[in-house]
Amino acid sequence: MSVDRELELDVGAVLVPQVRVGGTIASATPIRPSREYLRRFPPVGVIAFGRTPRGASSPAELLAAVRAELAEDGAARCFAACDLEQGAGLHFPTATRLPPALALAAREAGAGATGSPGGYVRSAGALTALEAREHGIELVLAPVADVNTRRSNPIIAVRSFGDTPERAAPLARAFLEGLHQGGAGGSAKHYPGHGDTEQDSHRELALVARSRAELAAVEWLPFRALIDAGVDTVMVSHLDVPALTGEPGLPATLSARALAVLRGELGFGGAVLTDALDMHALSGLETIHARALAAGCDGLVCPTGNEFAAEELLRAVRDGALPRERVRAAAQAMRGLRAKLEARRAAPPAERSRLARWFSGPRGATACDPDVFGTPAERSAFARRLAGESLVLAGGAWPWKPGAPCEVLAPVPSGAGADAREAIHGLRRDVVEPSGTPNALLPVLAEVRAFDGTYGVRPEDVAVIEAKLADLARLGWRTAIAWFASPQSLPPGWWGRRDLALVIAFAPTPPMVGAVGDFLQGRVQPLGSLPTSAH
């Protein structure tokens, strides 16, 4: 093999191109590597996207086509990664959609000392892995290891397992253990910690103003727990962390100092992935692919153009700006990751830990049964009950008996995404009582959306809510609020307010909206406890 061809193969190994269905926020049309690119730079891994504003749309056909073309050229099968933080149903419509991480944490908090610690989260990870493998995904880009200490964080919020490292670390680890039990790999993200930011790195370079000691005491504890548990990859985010990088304005993705801490102090020896390199946090910076590789990253996720990125790396090596050995080492790390994921995928169930079974025991205790997730009906029942029991009741007593008719009012605010709007419409169809019931539920929505830049409920929306509640009270209606948002975003004074009945449902996603419907109709008992500090 020629020297040039060997370099091209190594460049192909470190670049992780996207395979994306049309209709996502990022692209109206499908995206996949070109036939010519696959021949010249066969990838070791790709990242698949099937999540659209209207719900999941499977990327399986595009992924299969890429793999078939690689096979035609005699190249090895690439692994596929996917962001499955809420189960494989987030990107594959035939798979199971799960509650967000903070809702899982609420169910764990409600379990107290009963059951197996982390059992609900571990089971969620196991189901995610099983369905990921069934849909051709070997690497789940989860769990989120961020500690959401900033209540107004626009991009983490309910994606985190908690607002303290003591809450977040053991649950992130439990989710990873579930992934491994189910036969998939996991990725700790977003190093060095995205929980204490006011900005969304999809839109801009997000600042983390923590001291070095604070980073070690808070942000890095979940990463340490995941590294100790054998996490397969760590994803580095585009964060401005001056105390770590020593250079204000330098993204951690491009910082050799940040990567040296991950390798040295935190002890991670596996493949390091970048967050998507086409995010706006890196806008205006040049040669980001070569700089990320030189800093110590191994897998360059979502390059800003596959051919462009490949040529940039070739040129950097030939010009001496990027050591050839660094490219070779990164390529070896990525090939090692592929081999590890393939071995995990191929291992028979008997060689993996037994999966936790969900059954009707005291307060949802768990027992072991490897066949619990054998049918779609069992998976759906697991997810539905988990979502329902993760609900948290707060404030005053619920003003009407579950199962009694009620009217679901128009949500506040009204500008939610299509997926959320359809879920609320479904709730209204399921529980509305046209005969003039005096019971009214007011849904309040807040979504974590890439590129949105904000999270939570605006002060003007709180004023609208208060006015609606006052008007209904004057008319003699019994009212309650379904808070489809993080409890961290509750207005000051609302938690524990005795004149305000609240059900905390964490996110306006189909599982959580369905959970509220089940509660209203008396089919499920909320067993969650507050998984964060009260406001």
Q: How far apart are CA 496 and CA 394, in angstroms?
A: 6
Omega of the bond leading into 443 within 30 degrees of 0 (cis)? no
- Does residue 190 contact residue 239 with C-beta atoms inside 8 Å? yes
SS3 176: helix
Helices (H), 185-323: 212-214, 220-228, 242-245, 256-263, 288-295, 306-319
Give the active site residue among 194, 202, 238, 289: 202
- Does residue 80 contact residue 47 with C-beta atoms inside 8 Å? yes
b or e along 27-45 (b: 16 or more beta carbons within 10 Å of the residue's beta carbon)? eeebbbbeeebbbbbbbbb
Residue with tokens 């709730």: 427
- Does residue 245 contact residue 210 with C-beta atoms inside 8 Å? no
The Cβ-side half-sphere exposure at 79, using a 13 Å CA radius, reads 32
Spatial CB neighbours of 213, under 8 Å, sequence gap ≥ 6 = none
Q: How far is CA 476 from CA 397, 410, 437, in A?
A: 17, 19, 11
As beta bridge partners, residue 185 has 139
SS3 165: helix
Omega of the bond leading into 192 within 30 degrees of 0 (cis)? yes
Q: In the numeric block, which tokens belong to residue 439?
A: 């019971």
Q: Is 190 a catalytic residue?
A: no
SS3 247: coil
> Rounded to a whole number, what is the distance in angstroms from the first to the last CA of the chain?
63
Q: How far is CA 337 from CA 175, 271, 276, 450, 527, in A?
A: 20, 7, 18, 28, 39
Q: Is 200 a catalytic residue?
A: no
Q: How far apart are CA 524 and CA 518, in angstroms?
A: 6
- Does residue 184 contact residue 139 with C-beta atoms inside 8 Å? yes
Spatial CB neighbours of 82, under 8 Å, sequence gap ≥ 6 = 47, 48, 49, 50, 59, 88, 91, 132, 137, 139, 140, 141
Give the active site residue among 10, 163, 232, 275: 275
Q: How far apart are CA 317 and CA 70, in angstroms?
A: 25
* Radius of gyration, CA atoms only, the chain: 23
Which residues does the annotation mark as catalytic? Answer: 202, 275
